[in-house]
Amino acid sequence: MAAKPIPVILDTDIGTDIDDTWALAMLLRCPELDLRLVTASTGDVAYRARLTAKLLRDFGRPDVPVGIGLPTDMKPGHRTQLPCAEGFDLAAHPGGVRQDGAEALVRAIMESPEPVTVLAIGPLTTVAAALEREPGIAGRARFVGMHGSIAWSHHEGHRPIAEYNVVHDAPAARRVFSASWPKVVTPLDTCGRVRLMGDKYRAVAGSPDPFARTVIANYEVWKRSGGWVKDAAASSILFDCVAVYLAFAEGLLEMREMPLAVSEDGFTRQDPAGSACRVATAWRDLPAFEDLIVDRLTSGPRGSAGA
């Protein structure tokens, strides 16, 4: 008998880097996960919410509610998928729009009869606000995130950096990391190495599957809006897809328990005084994870996810 899907709330800054769109598609193709709410956070949150609702419609899940998270200042040009959302009526989203995303997150956790996974793939402004309003959510949920840079950054041997999802709102990250809920994170050490190249990318780009077609259409808009990828046969770095995987499995990664703390300048470091986290420090089988992404986006939930 298959295990019951894990209830998930996705907190995302979708609409700047394209990996959030890949991750949303992958999440919706994971039968291990049950998406209950998406909160769109930081920057122009109305734009992010509109894009989220449009993608949920395109992926066949217009029933999922969208929460408008807390805005923050952003540099001009962060709305890289704006053409994909233009003209879409957010108010008509069938799943409903929650104007207070932090409150929607609190309610979704506190009203759930079973523990919820908060899957965070952007700066933690809205998640921290939810914790401030109701600290009790930490006892009814676990946190899975794409955050930090522990031993190195995007490439092995490159010194750690103040990773974007942390440094953009370091006080929020400190609050989330110090909370008492179970925490699982993929730092740049692992998620910064994920790209689909060559035949694997072409399998997605050439697929007739509606999920793949939607992802690639948004990817092409992102590239025209300033995305850094120049290779016609490669994806960008798919940071956030690793966090989606960690919401239901760990077998393809080396995991370590370590205490982590966030510094005032946005670095995420091992610290004896920090809070216990389960950290993806290295890959056991990166090619198998790449295959999993391809399988999920091109033919639904096919292939082994790893235990």
Q: What percent of the chain has pLDDT over 70?
A: 96
| pLDDT reported for residue 305 | 52
Domains in the chain: boundaries: 6-299
Prediction pTM value:
0.95
The C-alpha R_g of the chain, in whole angstroms, comes to 18
By mean pLDDT, which of 125-129, 226-230, 278-282 is the weakest?
Answer: 226-230
Lookup result for tokens 């952003």:
74
Instruction: Give CA separation, 164 vs 188, 199, 207, in Å.
Output: 10, 30, 32
- % residues pLDDT > 90 (the chain): 88
Query: Residue 299 — pLDDT band, cuts 50, 70, 90?
Result: confident
> Residue 223: CB partners within 8 Å, gap ≥ 6?
229
Vertex 188 angle, CA 118 and 171, to 5°: 55
Provide the 8-state DSSP code for 124.
S
Contact by Cβ (8 Å): 44, 74: yes
SS3 199: helix
Query: Cβ contacts of residue 156 below 8 Å, gap of 6+?
Result: none
172-228 per-position pLDDT tens digit: 999 999 999 999 999 999 999 999 999 999 999 999 999 999 999 999 999 998 777
- Cβ atoms of residues 101 and 67 within 8 Å: yes
Q: Beginning with the edge strand found earlier in the chain, give each strand of the sheet holding 268-270 in spatial order.
A: 97-98, 66-68, 33-40, 6-12, 116-120, 141-146, 183-186, 275-283, 253-262, 268-270
Q: What class does CATH assign to 6-299?
A: alpha beta
Give the residue-averaged pLDDT of 278-282: 98
What's the mean pLDDT when you consider all of the chain? 94
Instruction: Give the Cα-Cα-Cα angle 249, 246, 190 (nearest 5 degrees).
Output: 120
Higher pLDDT among residues 153 and 176, named by residue: 176
d(CA 104, CA 136): 14
If pLDDT is split at 50, 70 and 90, which confidence band does 149 have?
A: very high
- Torsion, Cα 254 14 305 197, to 10 degrees, reads -80
pLDDT band for 307, please (50, 70, 90 cuts). Answer: very low
Specify the pLDDT at position 227. 76
